[in-house]
Structure 1
Amino acid sequence: DDIDRTDSNTLLTFHGDRNLYYLIDFDSSLGLWQGRAKLPWMGHRHAWDPNWVLLSTIGLAPNPIIHHEPVSDAVGLLYADDFDPFAWKQQIANSAFRLMARSDAEWIARRMAQVSREQLAAIVHAARYSNPEDERYVLETLMARRVVILKQLGIEPIPSPTQPPVVSAQ
């Protein structure tokens, strides 16, 4: 859920007139964080949340509600059944999410709609899960989350498995 996007977790390379950006740390993405299942609060508040700190200091912070148990040691805490993409909070506050307009969300969702099941399956397969059930679960969960995002924005998935994803900046 949260890609730890900091200057130490990215790489910029220059190739003539092209710049390539790489994210090189996915430790806190999907259901794991530092090699173990994410904590229940992750995805529901930022790591540094002044309101939560104040409430916690005076003993009024609510305990995190545990909706789910970790799926496995390799998958961690990843689910889709009550996933709300617009209530989700990344671990480190990121202005890209705070300032995101509906048109921004629609732009990326249209691109998500063009990624076929086969393409997403290939991406998940590249993670090399040792248990095929973990691989299947992650694929199904990501597909279900995609459906939730697209439905909330009123965008239909494009079913063509042969159509490559759009990569233009338009």
Structure 2
Amino acid sequence: MCFVCAGNICRSPMAEVVFTSLAARAGLGAHVSVASAGTGDWHVGEQADGRTVAALHRRGYDGTAHRARQFEAEWFADLDLVVALDRSHERILRSWATTDEDRGKIGLLLAFDAGQVHLGDVPDPYYSDDRMFDEVLGMIERACIALFRQLQPAVRQGATQ
């Protein structure tokens, strides 16, 4: 699975860290591959935004190892799920997907959470303050929990085979 936002320094690293933590706490970390990337190349090789790392830290997560990268269309072949953080990323990913199978792997993060699906997009906190980073992380946590609950039975079944 790969979470995708614009520059891979704010939203998608949050989702990667949160989802990885959920899988690890459930004892399924070895059975789930989680990554993140951006649609743009502006921050390739950089750490997550300092405010992202700080927001994650305030919630008990460690985002210090993250390095930004750009999504590559050939990754579709190795991914089961590509999760866009907003509709602009979803549109870009769909334009990069060359097959219906690849397009079928793309979903919006908030679409997995009945309580937030009406919002559509996770807002970009980049031009905002720490409070907004905390709010965005809260949205991402809730949506990742909902997504994990949906995937967990299949992951558990695969882990026992």
> What's the TM-score once normalised by structure 1's chain length?
0.27
Is the helix fraction higher in 1 or 2?
2
- Looking at both structures, which has the greater relative contact order when contacts are Cα pairs under 8 Å and sequence separation is at least 6? 2
Bigger radius of gyration: 1
